[in-house]
Amino acid sequence: MDNKDLAMTPEEQKAYQAKQKQRALIMAGLLFFLVVLFYLITFVKISSSIS
């Protein structure tokens, strides 16, 4: 593979990293949301099985 063809210009690299950062932030938000959701689901399931 020719590395010259694959290398990014500084602008391209900046744009790529900005996209990566945006996706990482959204993924973090989604994971936090899922943690809360699974906590609530577990809470509801345990409560209903006790009652």
Residues engaged in binding another protein (CB under 8 A)? 3, 6-8, 12-13, 15-17, 19-20, 22-23, 26, 37, 40-41, 43-45, 48
- d(Cα 42, Cα 51) in Å, to the nearest integer? 14
Q: At its nearest, how many Å lie between another protein and the CB of residue 41?
A: 5
Nearest to 17 by CA among 5, 3, 25: 25
- d(Cα 11, Cα 42) in Å, to the nearest integer? 46
Nearer of residues 12 and 35 to another protein, judged by Cβ? 12
Q: At its nearest, how many Å lie between another protein and the CB of residue 14?
A: 9
